[in-house]
Structure 1
Amino acid sequence: MMSRTRSTSPISRTVSRRSLLAGAGAAGAGLGLAACGGGSGGDGGTPESDPDHKDLVMTVWGGEADKIAYQARVDLAKEKFPDYTITLQLIPSENYEQKVQTMISSKTGPDIMQVAENVNVYSSKQQLVPLDDYISAAGLDMAATFGPVGENYRWDGKTYGIPDRSGAMVLYYNKDLFDAAGIEYPTADWDWDTFLDAAKALTDPAKGQFGYGGVGWWPQWFSLVAQNGGAVLDPETGAPSVNSPEAVEALQWAQDLYFTHKVAPTAVDYSNMGPEMGADGAFQQGLVAMNSTGFWAVGGNAGIEGLNWDIAPFFHGKEKAVSAFGSALVIPTAAKNPQASFEIIQFLTSAEGQTPIADLGQDVPANLELQGSDAFLDPEWLEADANLEAFPESADMIFTPKFIPEWNEMQKSVDDAMASFWLGESDAKTTADDLQSRLERVIKPSE
């Protein structure tokens, strides 16, 4: 059993002031967008900016490590825009949505805000400023700068967020267990059959060892559905489509990993491993040979003495598709100077403005230039020889379910409908039909 060493969190290191990436310093330059509209973004137009408002608040969620990384970036923005006062406001994740909703409704700010899958909970209520006019005036090429995730934060033909953090789900694997089984390490060429053959060979009931950590979390099985040519939500309208033949087939394949092939631990198996055990912990203890999750596992795995691990892109099905974990920066309609807010957002999402994300090992920066640089791929904080190239290599594979305004209600429906499925108490078709009905009751498709 692997033992955890003392904390090796990269975020505790001082921000490296290495030479920042060339060309990124131009963010915000030449941004001369003329204000139009009547002082509110509620009608879908660009709101008027008050150039005298120079005290801006940026609100994000997270813990102490996130605070350090965001503050380092805010400090860079202050150097770039010395006329602005930029204050970082960090709210714990569990309280974030309630507090920012209160601030927006009471017109008390903030000027810049972090969002994720719930972006259109706000945009559908006309609480966010559409950014298309700013993007056009700045000459910002969203696709070239951020890849497919540049489309993530659009709703009804308008862009509401600029991607800030975005890393694909990847496949972590235990090199020692692969070597012992005589199996070649995973590559981006692995398909479902290749993966399953390896998972079977890596499963050893006598040792309590499983080939794979499982796919019970929605980003995992949503990816499988997309790989099989299906979609939980229609990519154009957001309408539920989880009971399509393609989706049902993918769900049955996922369930079979647990109860037919027995290459992934069931809930009972995890409980037998120890209290509050999950796939991440089981991987770190050598009890599962492969695990699909996000960038945050890099630091956790690196802190385990004796764990010989690496990373590969997530395997694929008929199509290449994988979920990404990320967030964007948006401008609430309560912002008094949205022009200034956008200038700061453009800088913060440039390679220069995102460098502390890489320097401190906080996450995968959304900016593709930085993702492909040594600052991210060969960071000073990571002593392990890990293939971080798996993240930019996966960038073109990223798909995103439609970020519908009813995202929170959808998640509850998913949790309720899928609970018995992952216990093996219902089959894929029955579960998919039940989930389809639940989603149709809560989701109003866009036109």
Structure 2
Amino acid sequence: MSIAPQPLQAFRASLLHFHADPAFQPDAFAWHQDGLLLVEDGKIKAAGDYASLIATLAPGTPVRDYRGKIIMPGFIDTHLHFPQTDMIASPAPGLLPWLETYTFPTERQFGDPAHAREVADFFLDELLRCGTTTAMVYCTVHRESVDAFFEASAARNLRMAAGKILMDRNCPEFLCDTAEGGVRESEELIRKWHKQGRAMYAITPRFAPTSTEQQLRLTGELARAYPDTFIQTHVSENPDECKWVQSLFPQARSYLDVYDSMGLMRERAMYGHCIWLDERDFARMAESGAAAAICPTSNLFLGSGLFDFERADAARVALSLATDVGAGTSFSMLQTMNEAYKVARLKGSYLPAVRMFYLATLGAARSMQLEGTIGSFVAGAEADFIVLDPKATPLLARRTERCENLEELLFALALLGDDRAVDATYACGRQVHQRRPSSI
């Protein structure tokens, strides 16, 4: 997709972005109550106080006025499944029966390019409506699903990571590939899509039970051959799943050790869930540079368990938040923050709002090794940003009028907000979503 040069754009609003993790550094963010964001050719030129920056603009430069709203980097969702869009909110007593009853039959349809593209278009528009500008996305075993996703993403000029699922056992025959064939197709897709425009490829073994040792070893070899690709998979989500892995890989010390022994622990590796890891597992994640995608909504939905923020933070594991659609029941990162806060409380810890917004922006960018590219307003970063409206609903308006500081304001948005709070979404400085006023 050819993008024409863009002239300087100026946006006036309250500005928020992060430069550190608030859990470990108190002055971790920049907050400009009356701020100005300058964008040129799809990149951030400057972000700061309106009074300081306005004087740098040539006379007559138009300024988009979003006063009363908050501009911040777009949300980054580090774990979700675009083929599961149409089966979201499907009832099941647990993870494994949910996969058998709903997930696998739904994914069967994605060998059809037209179907895959129609779902990809809806999926991406839904992300943008919720303020998510980057995501790490699971496709299906079908290469057609990957092509459809990246074609739809390129049409919107979005920075997205995605990949073909690899699984060669313990799944229906209609979704089963082979160890060699699945990895060979993945390599072909890497060569076709990785770093083409804003596309990034993620090597995607579904989870250890659906791959033979041979497939996992070949996947590790592929990851070593293409070190700047991503790796994404699931680990330690559900107690029954953990027992299953133990029976399939009795030689492994832990579920995570299965992946480690296959060469799949490195930077740019994103592990979804990480609920039942022990201290040695978390230490190994931190040592390897692998990151955890925390999926509170789906974990509550499937009854899988509660993520241990304190144990992960003690090991200094890179953390991010994720919706995990379709086990997750919302595309909204604000609703995901809502659930993450409650999960933390149930585990006996406290998650401040500034930390939640960090995890959904710069924290996710750092987890993906993309700091300086997305997730903040440093000069030269790609201008993916959103406009949040603290008065989007009557309840939000009433509560935020009474907020006395930034933490209260962000907490209200996280606990009471959803897609309605996203007034606009921008990708590389171009508006890709504008909220329509409700007719209700």
- Whether the TM-score (by the shorter chain) exceeds 0.5 is no
With the shorter chain as reference, the TM-score category is under 0.3
* Structure with higher RCO (Cα < 8 A, 6+ apart): 1
Could you say which structure has the higher strand fraction?
2
Q: TM-score, normalised by structure 1?
A: 0.23
